[in-house]
A and B are shown apart, each in its own frame.
Chain A
Amino acid sequence: MLTITGLNKTYPNHKRGLKDVTLTFTPGVTAIIGPSGAGKTTLLRSINRLITPESGTVVLGDQEIRTANAKALRRVRRQIGMIFQDYNLIEELAAIDNVLHGCLGAKSWLAGILGRYTAAEQERALRLLSEVGLADFATQRCADLSGGQKQRVGIARALMQEPQVILCDEPIASLDPASTQAVMTLLTDLAKRGLMIIVNLHQVDIARDYADHIVGVNHGQIVFDGPTSALDEVALAKIYHKEAVVTDA
């Protein structure tokens, strides 16, 4: 279980990113929706501390993340996969090399620096590429792949970590409808295996179609937190309607 309690983040330009956010995530797909600049990405990146909040706690299992030291942070990050809107793959490398990056954090420093992967790790990377439908593209440079293929390499990289949680920062924002469907179906399949999938989305209809749980964010505050079935027009108005915006005093 992933628990967030009283999380606050203010940026150097005094913009409030998060205000007293408290949430609990369980296995399944949780979609975070809200208008642009609402704090969705800040919330997601606070979970694996790519952004460090000023106060509050983020606890995965029994490990507190916000105040963890560097070693503990690296350890807990291995349990949290992340995929990005812009894929953030190393384009010059082959798909399999990018997938293998997912296990670097768990290797010894020397083996990691030398890029020495065991046969088991290489087999696993190939199997994961096969699972995401890219077995034939293992040795292809990522620069030569399509957007949808790159995103699936990103998912395979995250799975290589054997994570408990996968954070997805607008994973379908750059994809066509067919690729969107492929990626979202893949994520829901992973959730069925017991993974926590937390996905930032701009499209409410996609969130309704694929998510088990929805979190609505506006101006850094949680304005909706409930099952997908409870997301009605009143809830959407609270999330997107300007009158529902709670301003920071």
Chain B
Amino acid sequence: MTQAPQPPVRPLRPAQRATRGLLLTLAVISIYAGLTMQTDHLDWGVAVTSFWHNLQLMIAHPHLGQDTWPALWQAFTNTIALALLTTLLGAVIAFFLALATARPFAPRLLALAMRSLMAVIRAIPTILWVLVYATVIGLGNEAAVVGLTFHSVAYLTKAFAEAMETVPPAKLAALRATGCGFWLTVRHALWPEVRASLLSWTFIRFEINFTNAVAVGAAAGTGGIGYNLFMASAFNFDFQEVGLIVYLLLAFAIGLELIAIRMRRHLAH
């Protein structure tokens, strides 16, 4: 009886090797940290019981603490407003920058320069841009608006430019051939073809900006629901209020997702 031929062992790709190397390194660091951790004053029993008790308070007994409903509502709407404003500003600016980035419109060198600049901006997390602008402008809403918008512009410029590049250049040429100039071609040939995609990307960015707006509320002192969450957890240790705020955020996220699903269905038809 002949043995079935064995499939050849394929060598790992560089990306697979890098992933495995990273996981191995993290495993070694975790084991080392666990072995060398100072546990002299740690009572594992108390720690586990407290953890379980706090978790129960958060999940099963959400309740108002230091804040009132009107205060929480105002903070929540501030955060939504921050996300909405920065997304809209980012989308409008990104649309025009995408025209200078997408290949059908931009010269090769300009497109390359724009792509590189946007990649650099995107490489630095939003929260760091907010902190950078906080040092320039000062802590507050202004830094949050500029920082969140800055990153949104870079993100949406790339997404919009890629959407624009999917439009066949011949369709744009067809409108130019009727005597239309650049902006008429953009308005009547490009816009109808990409608006669904652009709207979808803008909504995704709104979701991201809402999350970021919560984070910068605490980190950059811009207020909003993130600040209340920070105060309730790290300052007041009021886990019931933390639970309440988390539930509010969760409800909003589910609401956004439902809107996104409806929007995608609508755009698909």
Q: Which residues of A contact B (CB under 8 A)?
A: 48, 50, 70, 74-78, 80-82, 84, 86, 88-93, 101-102, 104-106, 109, 112-113, 115, 157, 161
Contact = CB atoms under 8 A, between A and B. Distances in A.
Interface residues of B, number: 20
Interface in B8-37: none
A90 B178 contact: no
Contacts of B181: 70, 74, 109
B47 interface: no
Contacts of B48: none
A101 B185 CA distance: 10
B174 interface: yes
Contacts of B204: none
Contact of B177 (A80, A91, A115): A80
Given A77-B176, A84-B174, A102-B178, A109 B192 contact: no
Contact of A104 (B171, B188, B192, B196): B188
Given A92-B193, A113-B184, A77 B171 contact: no
A50 B171 CA distance: 12
A50 B176 contact: yes
A82 B177 contact: yes
A105 B178 CA distance: 6
A109 B184 contact: yes
Contacts of B183: 109, 113
Interface of B: 168, 170-171, 173-181, 183-184, 187-189, 192-193, 196
Nearest to B187: A113
A74 B174 contact: no
A81 B188 contact: no
A84 B180 contact: no
Given A90-B171, A92-B193, A77 B179 contact: yes
A115 B188 contact: yes
Interface centre among B175, B178, B183, B193 (most CB of A within 10 A): B178
A82 to B, nearest CB: 4
Contacts of B187: 112-113, 115
A191 B184 CA distance: 30
A78 B178 contact: yes
Contacts of A80: 177
B170 A88 contact: yes
24 contacts: A50-B177, A74-B181, A77-B176, A80-B177, A81-B177, A81-B178, A86-B170, A88-B174, A89-B171, A90-B171, A90-B193, A92-B192, A101-B188, A101-B189, A104-B178, A105-B179, A106-B179, A112-B180, A112-B184, A112-B188, A113-B183, A113-B184, A115-B188, A157-B178
